[in-house]
Amino acid sequence: MTGAPVHGLAALTRLDQLPLLRPHTLAGGQSSYQRDTRGPGRGNHDWNNFLGVRGDEKVMLDQRGPGVVYRIWVTGFDPATDWLRVYFDDDPTPRIDILLADLFSGTHAPFLAPLVADDTVSSGGFTCYLPLPYQRAITITTNMGRYYNIGFHTFGPGTPVTTWTGAEDTTPARRAWMNAGAHPKQPSGEATVAGVGQLRPGSVRTIFEADGPRSISAIMLTVPDVTAARTGPETAEILNGLAIRMYWDGEATPSVDAPLGAFFGMGRFGSCPIRALVVGLDAADRLYVYLPMPFRRHARIELASTGPTAAVGYLLRHHPLTGDLADVGYLHTRLTATTPSVAGRDIPILDVTGSGNLVGVTASYAGRPDRWFLEGDERIYVDDSGSPACHGTGTEDFFNGGWYFARGPYTQPMSGNTAHLLDDGAARIAAYRFLLQDAVPFRRRIRVSIEHGGHNDTTTDAWMLAYYYHQPRIRLVLTDILDVGDRASEAAHGYRISGQRWAGSRRYQYEGVADTVDVPDTGRAHRGTSRFVLRIDPDNDGVLLRRRFDQTIANQRADVLVDAKVIGPWYVAGGNPFRQWRDAEFLIPPSATAGRKTIEVTIRFVASALDWNEFTYWAYCLRPSGLTAPATPSAAGPRSNAPG
């Protein structure tokens, strides 16, 4: 398992690459979430909020490349009049100009099913998973005024990406998605292990044990009474009473430890006809998981029972691994039970340090019959940023549905609503979503949570299972902090500024989970240049430069130079006059940083609504070797930017 991860259309058919770490890929999202969360009743008006307006076009996304848009979700548009346009690489003519109803119909090439789905298929939501790669820039606009979410990856400057043309062959990807439930083709040398395990209450049965390096490509289980025909809560006791555990390389605590219902995407409310790309119930009524499970030295997989006696049939497929495994993560799950939810606090899904990729979530809720708990927005924080990389518009929106899953249960390759039960004065909802080609990479830490209700204001029971690939080593190391406006810090970093327009201090809040926490900082603004020297580790694979800025000033853009060489544009579209702090990242490639102890960074103003402002810069080194991080450097005052 070697080489760089593929991107774009190729990523839709390369499940084998899911475990690969992606240090030079930043995941992000743009949505119509409400920016103003000040006070009661605000923060849930998650529609008709855009980055800006250009003539008759509302800007949904505006990015400088290179990158790939992987997911577009919308709901609530007028099918007769509402359209979507996509501009690539600064071309003034949109390469895509289409009615939203046509885009999601599944019959207008190249937007073909099952890569796209309308609200009858995705239970109230409209989804497009046709990748839209771009080399220099992408802008997506619309005239509709309702809900949207767009997910994307961005790469470091200079990363070669072939811009979307519309002539790409989507046949292999569509065929793979149409055959969801079938075992993906694997390399030669694959072996199988099969048997039947008799499990009594309190018993544990090992079903697989082998030395590596190898990778498990499939686990299939036949569980009594768990069939597509026998759905609903009568099978819940069976699925919740059996757990699967996976131990990698002799670890004492399993990396995967989950009830079968949650692990195979059904949730905790019983069997259902689920047919996702990587988990589900196949045509032979076998539970399946096709997430790759690589290991270096040893693997042990066991089933544990706390429920009724059951004879479980099992079949596992595995094959040898060759090549460098240094950048390969292990499959992990994290099960959290929040029973009940806490007022004013998100429901936690995942909080882990190290490096890896978030690839999926299965959720189960039991709460009010009006299902108000589904109003909650997801928030994903990556690598200690103070700003969420993704901030959604609602729980069912995250799971690709809409209007509280308006069409009832559904199953699609990437997402589904597996339980939709309204009885006993309560609602029981289960759903899954996988982020495969659109995985969320992290190098230092990831925090995933979701609101319950529009303002964390309703009580519900929630059970969350996160799927992720993981290495415990931190691959992003903080090596320097520049506190702009602090004379000692500026002197220590050789800070110089020309064309200064403002200097002073601000006390603001960040968007997201910490939107009531005041953070003071000093800074400057300019329409010229700022220069400063940052300490870095010469043993680096590039540098991530993070900046705290005042996003009251919208659409700030500058060119970044390192040691007088232009690296690329740094642009953040939109703004927020209500929660004004924002952190933004810029990837500096290793060609400009490798082997150097310091770099001189120049920020050269290009454009904005007013000026370019800067309050704090953090320099993080990407560490390919995963060595132990040195002590965190200090500035002239405390400078934590991670909320919570």
Identify the residue whose tokens are 């200690």: 384
Residue 631 lies in a domain: no
- State whether 401 and 423 are in the same domain: yes
Same domain for 246 and 160: no
- CA dist 415 and 402 (Å) reads 12
Q: Do 42 and 148 have their domain in common?
A: yes
The pair of structure tokens assigned to 324 is 């460098």
Phi and psi dihedrals of 343, rounded to 5? -60, 135
What value does the mean pLDDT take over residues 111-122? 98
Joined together, the tokens standing for residue 220 give 């299939």
pLDDT tens-digit series, residues 508-530: 999 999 999 999 999 999 999 99
What's residue 41's pLDDT? 66
Residues 6+ apart with CB under 8 A from 77: 100, 101, 126, 142, 144, 146
- Helix then strand count (H, E) for the chain reads 6, 44
What residues have CB less than 8 Å from 545, skipping those under 6 apart? Answer: 534, 560, 585, 586, 587, 588, 601, 617, 618, 619, 620
Q: What is the mean pLDDT of residues 483-492?
A: 99
The answer, yes or no, to whether residue 633 has pLDDT greater than 60, is no
Q: For residue 644, is pLDDT > 90?
A: no
Residues 292 and 352 in one domain: no
A 10 A CB-CB count for 640 gives 9
Task: Answer whether residue 56 is part of any domain.
Answer: yes
Q: The sheet that has 476-483: what strands, in order across it?
A: 476-483, 616-622, 543-550, 581-588
Torsion, CA 604, CA 610, CA 612, CA 614, rounded to 10: 160
Same domain, 271 and 341: no
| pLDDT at 234 (0 to 100) | 78
> In which element (H, E) is residue 68 found?
strand 67-75
Q: State the burial class of residue 78 (Cβ atoms within 10 Å of its Cβ: 0-12, 13-18, 19+).
A: middle
In-domain check, residue 354: yes
Per the listing, tokens 């039947």 go with 196
Same domain, yes or no: 357 and 467: yes
Rg from Cα positions in the chain: 24
> Does a cis peptide bond (omega within 30 degrees of 0) precede residue 308?
no
Tell me which residue has tokens 């204001």. 457
Residue 373 lies in a domain: yes
The pLDDT-based confidence of 641 (bands split at 50, 70, 90) is low
For residue 496, give both structure tokens.
């110089």
Cite the DSSP H helix spans in 188-274: 236-241, 260-263
Identify which of 436, 445, 469 has the alpha carbon closest to the alpha carbon of residue 329: 469
So what's the pLDDT on residue 515?
A: 92
Closest by CA to 615, choosing from 510, 512, 495, 485, is 485
Residue 49 and residue 46: Cα distance in Å, rounded?
Answer: 7
Percentage above 70 pLDDT, the chain:
96
- Among 416, 444, 471, the domain boundary falls at 471
User: How many other C-beta atoms can be found within 10 angstroms of the C-beta atom of residue 192?
Assistant: 10
Q: Retrieve residue 112's tokens.
A: 């073909």
Nearest to 581 by CA among 522, 508, 641, 644: 508
pLDDT grade for 40, boundaries at 50, 70 and 90: low
Would you say 612 and 527 are in contact if contact means Cβ atoms under 8 Å apart? yes
With vertex at residue 399, the alpha carbon angle to CA 416 and CA 420, rounded to the nearest 5 degrees, is: 55
- Dist. CA 449–CA 348, nearest whole Å: 4
Residue 82: exposed, middle, or buried by beta-carbon count in 10 A (0-12, 13-18, 19+)?
middle
> Three-class SS of residue 560?
strand
* Closest by CA position to 346, among listed 266, 447, 465, 468: 447
CA–CA–CA angle 289, 291, 297 (5° rounding): 110
CATH code assigned at 483: 2.60.120.260
Pair (309, 334) in one structural domain:
no
Q: What is the pLDDT of residue 628?
A: 39
Range name among 120-134, 184-198, 261-275, 614-628 with the lowest pLDDT average: 614-628
Check whether 627 has a pLDDT greater than 70: no
577 preceded by a cis bond (ω within 30 of 0):
no
Tell me the per-residue pLDDT of 220-272, one tens digit each, with 9 for 90 and over.
999 999 988 887 677 999 999 999 999 999 999 999 999 999 999 999 999 99
- Whether residue 444 sits in one domain with residue 355: yes
Residues 355 and 267 in one domain: no
Phi, psi of 211 (to 5 degrees): -90, 155
Task: Kindly state whether residue 244 falls inside one of the protein's structural domains.
Answer: yes
Cα–Cα distance for residue pair 540/8, rounded to 1 Å: 27
DSSP 292-337: -EEESSEEEEEEEESSS-EEEEEEEEEEE--S--TTBPEEEEEEEE
Q: What b/e string do you get for 219-257 counting C-beta neighbours within 10 Å, with b at 16 or more?
A: bbbbbeebbbeebeeebbebbbbbbbbbbbeeeeebbbb
| Shared-domain flag, residues 284 and 142 | no
Start-to-end Cα distance in the chain: 37
pLDDT digits (tens, 9 = 90+) for 430-477: 999 999 999 999 999 999 999 999 989 999 999 999 999 999 999 999
For residue 591, report the phi and psi dihedrals to the nearest 5 degrees.
-60, -20
Residue 185 resides in a domain: no
Kind and range of the H or E run holding 176: helix 171-178
Domain co-membership, 441 together with 379: yes
- For the chain, what is the domain count? 3
Identify which of 463, 426, 513, 514 has the alpha carbon closest to the alpha carbon of residue 340. Answer: 463
- The reported pTM is 0.95
Note whether residue 585 is domain-resident.
Answer: yes
Cα–Cα nearest to 213, from 118, 293, 120, 153? 293
607 and 583 share one domain = yes
Residue-number span of the structural domain to which 258 is assigned: 191-320
Dump pLDDT digits (tens) for 561-580: 999 999 999 999 999 999 99
Give the distance, in angstroms, between the CA of residue 279 and the centroid of all CA atoms in the same chain.
18
Q: What CATH code is carried by the domain that includes residue 303?
A: 2.60.120.1390
Domain contains 617: yes
Domain C-terminal end among 407, 438, 471? 471
Residue 293 has pLDDT above 50, yes or no: yes
Among 269, 286, 320, residue at a domain's last position: 320
